[in-house]
């Protein structure tokens, strides 16, 4: 319920979806570029100075161009131009159409060469999406851990409430017995004050326990975004089992699955890729280019197009384009910065691995301690119950006061609360161990594919 409904996790869910749009945007470099020009111009001017004779020219252009980037970094294009001219001089060139079709290709052979350079934006956007997904998984693991902790806080609060109810019932029974014994003249009347005070104290403690249950239930309902009315009631008991897991096994699992480490490795990958691209961008620009086409010329469109289609008048070109900034300071600075960022990312990854290893070992030790504390707490309950039963018998024989009896009963209540707290603390520590290993969602059967995360954000828009 928490992974599905928690609002903080829903906020995080938007990030992978936003990052995924970055991939789509980056892939736009391969969108075919279409351009067209439609131009009609006219001019009336004096043909001869100091004369009324006017020269009238009309020009019409209709050009279409398609341009496509290819993974190697080259650019292919196809262009069709269709020029039409007319004037009023009555010469053979006073009206003509001049269509032309050409294809061209330009390929960098140093700077800008290669798929990695061409698709730099796509690769980095993909890495960004992977990092956002890892961050979501980290938040989901944390959310599951908090949900588990709040569940057992509520469990502990309800166990304590039942213990307090039993304690109040015992105090009332003691007070009723004292009343009967005082009435029979076998108990001093001041003992009634002690038993009455014991009842009042336990009634106050019961109110605190009821408040704790309400607070814990409310906190869990808000965290789960549970709209159902009423209190949440944990079901099932706790049967702790010793976890047979070595520090090496737990750490190895964490190194593979912890989302923070996945994200850190993606950061290293992106930094090293950027460094690789920067090495290419330091090189001089050298591009090979070429084009080929046909042209036509006719007194009409049909004639010009037929002339062009005949292929009698081909056009071609081959060339080399070279450029290099003297000093190349900007590219050299970018390379230096990316080398530093790569080194920084690798050190950061090692630091994260050390922190995760320490976290796992701490979680294992904490779980072992919680497990041992349960056994100690159970023995404490047994001792407190035996001691209380002993004082009940002694009090009936007049060998113990009501105050003594209530004090031992309070110690028994405390022992029971320590036991329920130890059981809850063990379960919380167990969840923390699995969270530190990056396996908490898996342990709860929540296997969420990366492709299913972003659609969750789009659902929020509907």
**pLDDT one-digit tens code per residue, 304-346:** 888 888 888 899 999 999 999 998 999 999 999 999 999 999 9
Whole-angstrom Cα distance, residue 48 to residue 119?
60
- pLDDT score at 307: 86
Rounded to whole angstroms, how far apart are CA atoms 29 and 69? 7
* pTM for the full predicted model: 0.85
Neighbours of 125 (CB within 10 A): 20
pLDDT of residue 458: 85
Q: Tell me, what's the pLDDT at 380?
A: 97
What does the domain layout of the chain look like in residue ranges?
Answer: 2-31+109-284+324-444
Check residue 51 and give its pLDDT. Answer: 74
- Tens digit of each residue's pLDDT (9 = 90 or more) over 97-113: 999 999 999 999 999 99
How far CA 294 is from CA of 93, 98, 154, 383, in Å, comes to 20, 11, 83, 104
The CATH number assigned to the domain with range 2-31+109-284+324-444 reads: 1.20.1600.10
302 vs 73, 307, 313, 408, 457, CA distance in Å? Answer: 38, 9, 16, 114, 57
**133 C-beta neighbours (distance < 10 Å), count:** 24
Instruction: Give the pLDDT of residue 222.
Output: 94
Instruction: Note the pLDDT of residue 107.
Output: 96
DSSP bridge partners of 296: none
Select from 365, 370, 372, 363 the least CA-distant residue to 433.
363
Q: In this structure, is the dihedral angle defined by the CA atoms of residues 140, 146, 149 and 154, taken in order, positive or negative? A: negative
- List, for the chain, all residue ranges whose pLDDT scores fall below the cut of 70: 462
Select from 109, 155, 90 the least CA-distant residue to 421.
155
- pLDDT for 237: 84
Long-range contacts of 126-131 (CB under 8 A, 24+ apart): 126/23, 127/266, 127/269, 127/270, 127/273, 128/19, 128/22, 128/270, 129/16, 129/19, 129/20, 129/22, 129/23, 130/262, 130/263, 130/266, 130/450, 131/19, 131/263, 131/266, 131/267, 131/270
What's the pLDDT at 461? 77
225: tokens are 């975004």
Q: Which pLDDT belongs to residue 456?
A: 85
User: For position 155, what pLDDT does the model report?
Assistant: 97
- What confidence score (pLDDT) does residue 397 get? 85
Pairing of strands 54-69, 75-87: antiparallel
Sign of CA dihedral 348, 350, 353, 355: negative
Task: Assess contact for 387 and 412: CB atoms under 8 A.
Answer: yes
**Residues whose CB is less than 8 angstroms from the CB of residue 69 and which lie 6 or more positions away in sequence, other chains included:** 29, 30, 75, 118
């Amino acid at each position: 319920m928490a992974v599905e409904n928690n609002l903080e996790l829903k906020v995080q869910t938007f990030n992978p979806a936003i990052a995924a749009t970055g991939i789509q945007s980056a892939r736009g470099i391969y969108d075919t570029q279409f351009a067209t020009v439609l131009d009609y111009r006219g001019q009336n001017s004096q043909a001869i100075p100091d004369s009324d004779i006017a020269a009238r020219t009309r020009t019409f252009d209709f050009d279409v161009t398609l341009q496509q980037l290819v993974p190697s970094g080259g650019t292919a294009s196809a262009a069709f131009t269709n020029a039409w001219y007319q004037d009023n001089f009555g010469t053979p060139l006073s009206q003509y159409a001049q269509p032309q079709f050409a294809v061209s290709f330009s390929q960098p052979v140093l700077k800008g060469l290669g798929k990695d350079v061409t698709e730099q934006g796509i690769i980095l956007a993909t890495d960004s999406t992977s990092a956002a997904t890892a961050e979501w998984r980290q938040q989901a693991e944390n959310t599951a851990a908090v949900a588990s902790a709040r569940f057992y806080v509520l469990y502990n609060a309800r166990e304590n409430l039942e213990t307090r109810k039993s304690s109040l019932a015992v105090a009332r029974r003691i007070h009723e017995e004292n009343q009967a014994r005082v009435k029979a003249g076998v108990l001093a009347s001041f003992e009634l004050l002690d038993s009455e005070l014991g009842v009042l104290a336990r009634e106050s403690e019961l109110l605190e326990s009821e408040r704790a249950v309400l607070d814990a239930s409310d906190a869990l309902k808000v965290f789960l975004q549970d709209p159902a009315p009423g209190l949440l009631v944990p079901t099932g008991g706790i049967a702790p089992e010793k976890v047979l897991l070595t520090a090496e096994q737990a750490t190895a699992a964490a190194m593979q699955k912890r989302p923070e480490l996945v994200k850190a490795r993606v950061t290293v990958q992106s930094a090293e890729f950027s460094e690789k691209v920067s090495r290419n961008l330091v090189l001089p620009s050298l591009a090979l280019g070429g084009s080929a086409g046909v042209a036509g010329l006719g007194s009409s469109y049909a004639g010009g197009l037929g002339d062009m289609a005949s292929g009698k008048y081909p056009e071609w070109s081959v060339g080399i384009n070279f450029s290099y900034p003297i000093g190349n300071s900007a590219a050299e600075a970018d390379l230096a910065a990316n080398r530093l960022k790569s080194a920084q990312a690798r050190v950061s990854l090692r630091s994260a691995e050390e922190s995760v290893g320490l976290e796992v070992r701490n979680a294992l030790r904490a779980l072992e301690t919680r497990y041992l504390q349960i056994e100690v707490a159970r023995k404490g309950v047994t001792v407190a119950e035996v001691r209380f039963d002993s004082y009940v018998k002694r009090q009936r024989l007049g060998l113990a006061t009501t105050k003594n009896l209530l004090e031992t009963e309070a110690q028994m209540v405390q022992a029971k609360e320590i036991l329920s707290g130890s059981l809850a603390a063990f379960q919380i520590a167990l969840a923390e161990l699995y969270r530190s290993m990056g396996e908490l969602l898996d342990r709860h059967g929540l296997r969420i594919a990366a492709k299913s995360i972003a659609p969750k954000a789009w659902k929020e828009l509907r």
